[in-house]
Amino acid sequence: MTVLELTNVSKSFGALQVTDDVSFSVPRGQALGIIGPNGAGKSTLFNLITGNILPDAGAITLLGRDVTRSPAMDRVRMGVGRSFQIPQPFEGLTSFENLLAAAAYGQNKREAEVADQCVAILRDTELLPKANQLAGTLSLLDRKRLELARAMATGPELLLLDEIAGGLTEGECQALVATIKGLHGRGVTIIWIEHVLHALNSVVERLLVLDFGRVIGIGEPETIMASREVREIYLGMDV
Amino acid sequence: MGHRITTRTRASSIAGIIAVALIAVGLILPAFASRSLIQDLFFILTMLTLAQLWNLIAGFGGMVSVGQQAFVGIGAYAMFAGVILWGWDPVPAILLGGVAAFLLAIPMAFFAFRLAGAYFAIGTWVIAEVTRLVVAQWKTLGGGTGTSLPREATADIIGVETIARLFGLRDAAARDVLAYWLALALAVATLATIYALLRSRTGLALAAVRDNDNAARSVGVDAARVKWLVFLAAATMTGLVGALIYVQTARISPDAAFSVTNWTAYVIFIAVIGGIGRLEGPILGVLVFWGLQTAFADYGSWYLLALGLLAIATMLFAPRGLWGLIHDRTGIALFPVQRRLIGAKDG
Ligand SMILES: Nc1ncnc2c1ncn2[C@@H]1O[C@H](COP(=O)(O)OP(=O)(O)OP(=O)(O)O)[C@@H](O)[C@H]1O
Ligand SMILES: [Mg+2]
């Protein structure tokens, strides 16, 4: 069963082609990593999948349904959860309330029905001590945790994570990897954009490389990491 | 799992008791109070309600409207139309005010929601002005100069005779008592409705949309629907208040009923001084405003200028208003909406 399929998707911002004829599909339960240099169009790809922006051409299919033009809200309800690279918390709500809103609306349930889940997610993401703190007063690290937690709270079948490991200590990074592995183990399909390659490669089964908006490689992580293009892009990086 | 979720605080429990007591006192007050006190309280209650409603759309919903006078005006005129054209009793005709404001809010939201930030504000103001100009063409309701409620209509408003007999008042004073009770009912209903809304799931959605529209949609919140809901509800209630105000004054003109100063500028002043985005804010704000109005209103434009400066100073130095200052010092919330998680254990 294919969870997500992109067919010849393109997007330009003015003269800048940010997504160039991208096609790939993700089977249910897979963890796919996306790597590529800054400005390659990785986050834009997420925005296209979630419906935060619409493509100029091509088609996006979610769980067998064409969602190319559907609003972001509908896709969340179909099971797409996402984190933002630059955290976008609801600043006037507490961490707990951020999750409550996401869970109640993402899963279309009453607050009381999702409260326990939200507590469990706060615990998993190490935010429980800050449950009652306004999100606007959280540190950058905690805001990033909240991004992951809020995406999880929507009850996703497909989880899109955009650079959530940057700036973590080794211990924190391991905890994060364990959390994501836990979700993966429960059958959640994951697409993870990440520059911290050792964290990424300890989770994903498949890697996609994006450069100038084009897919320049997709396949087994070992094969991809060994390819010349990737080594050129990541030369001197933590491969 | 050993945890629980609560919005209640000790202060809010006490506030609940005090609120019930105040409402009870408010209800029986006309038995002792002077006519001028009843009139002052009518003014305070109606301004409070308008400020709560503006606070709902601007403070909680992030939609800064400066066109609320459109709903006051259209509500008042609809009530007049019901009385003068169709011979309705003024009190049930207040409901027409709510309907008219609701109907006006639909095209207004349709246009204004396409505008962002300052353009939204200007858009609402422009629509209010256009509505005023159109209403001023309505010759049977006095055109540009306005008209009064006919004496026959004001003479036998339902309930007035009973009130007059009950308290031994003349008809005019009894009318004020009736208007005051209706204002009290509207103020309490508005506060209770907004409070219930904020504590419901929709309250979370409203806060999410205000804080970050894009992220709200990304967690499944129908941002447009929430905005429509709140805007229409606030407009309808504002229309009811407008109609009630003009039942009490019994005389209307387009300039007064669609006055941006009276129904929007003062209302924003009340919310800003008291504290935007908190239910306690307008309550404190309206008392400050009433004090200033009583003391200085005779100074005319100097007074308006001073109010404006005071509002700007508040926005610069205490952006969350007087109640914000109190809340920061003491942590007190009379109408808390925050869902606090208690007793959840780590690990
Ligand atoms: N809304 C937008 N309007 C105009 N240009 C945009 C917009 N969003 C992204 N871009 C541009 O598109 C290009 C790709 O951006 P994108 O954020 O997708 O890259 P990325 O691969 O996620 O980069 P990074 O690793 O830095 O996060 C960049 O040059 C960016 O400036
Ligand atoms: Mg990016």
Residues A37 and A63 placed together within one structural domain of the fold: yes
| B340 at interface of A, judged by CB pairs closer than 8 A | yes
Residue A20 tokens read as: 């160039």
Residues A202 and A236 placed together within one structural domain of the fold: yes
Cβ contacts of B200 within 8 Å, gap of 6 or more: none
Q: Alpha carbon of B3 to those of A113, B241, B344: distances in Å?
A: 14, 43, 5
Work out the minimum CA distance from B54 to partner chain A, whole angstroms. Answer: 19
Helices B90-112 and B118-135 cross at an angle (nearest 10°) of 140
Work out the minimum CA distance from A183 to partner chain B, whole angstroms. Answer: 18
pTM score of the predicted model: 0.89
Tell me how crowded residue B190 is: count the other CB atoms within 10 A of its CB: 24
| B170 at interface of A, judged by CB pairs closer than 8 A | no
End residue of a domain, out of A155, A180, A210: A155
Residue nearest to atom 30 of ligand 1 (CA): A39
Residues A62 and A175 placed together within one structural domain of the fold: yes
Residues A228 and A197 placed together within one structural domain of the fold: yes
Residues A236 and A194 placed together within one structural domain of the fold: yes
Separation of alpha carbons B109 and A33, rounded Å: 43
Residues A135 and A37 placed together within one structural domain of the fold: no
| B331 at interface of A, judged by CB pairs closer than 8 A | no
Residues A63 and A163 placed together within one structural domain of the fold: yes
Residues A72 and A112 placed together within one structural domain of the fold: no
Q: What is the predicted ipTM?
A: 0.90
Residue A51 tokens read as: 């419906």
End residue of a domain, out of A131, A155, A179: A155
| Residue (of A73, A40, A36, A14) closest to A217 by Cα position | A36
CA–centroid distance, residue A36 to ligand 2 (Å): 10
Residues A141 and A43 placed together within one structural domain of the fold: no
| Number of structural domains in chain A | 2
The residues with which A170 forms a beta bridge, in sequence order, are none
Residues A204 and A237 placed together within one structural domain of the fold: yes
Residues A201 and A132 placed together within one structural domain of the fold: no
User: Where in the sequence is the domain holding A136, given as residue range(s)?
Assistant: 87-155
Separation of alpha carbons A121 and A154, rounded Å: 11
Cβ pair B76, B257 in contact under 8 A: yes
Q: Which ligand 1 atom sits closest to the C-alpha of A41?
A: 18
DSSP string, B30-47: GGTS-HHHHHHHHHHHHH
| B219 at interface of A, judged by CB pairs closer than 8 A | yes
pLDDT in tens, chain B (347 residues): 578 888 888 888 888 899 999 999 999 999 898 999 999 999 999 999 999 999 999 999 889 999 999 999 999 999 999 999 999 999 999 999 999 999 999 999 999 989 888 899 999 999 999 999 999 999 988 888 999 998 888 888 888 888 989 888 888 899 999 999 999 999 999 999 999 999 999 999 999 999 999 999 999 999 999 999 999 999 999 999 999 999 999 999 999 999 999 999 999 999 999 999 899 999 999 999 999 988 888 888 888 888 888 888 888 888 889 999 998 898 888 898 999 999 877 75
Length in residues, chain A: 239
Q: Which of B1, B210, B222 sits opposite A119 (nearest CB)?
A: B1
CA dihedral B324, B326, B330, B332 (to 10 degrees): -70
| A58-76 pLDDT per residue, tens | 999 999 999 999 999 999 9
Residue B136 tokens read as: 């001023």
Say whether B170 sits in a helix, a strand or coil.
Answer: coil
Q: Which residues of B touch A76 (CB under 8 A)?
A: 217-220
CATH number at residue A198: 3.40.50.300
Ligand 1 binding pocket (C-beta < 6 A) is A 13, 16, 18, 36, 38-44, 85
End residue of a domain, out of A108, A134, A155: A155
Residues A97 and A27 placed together within one structural domain of the fold: no
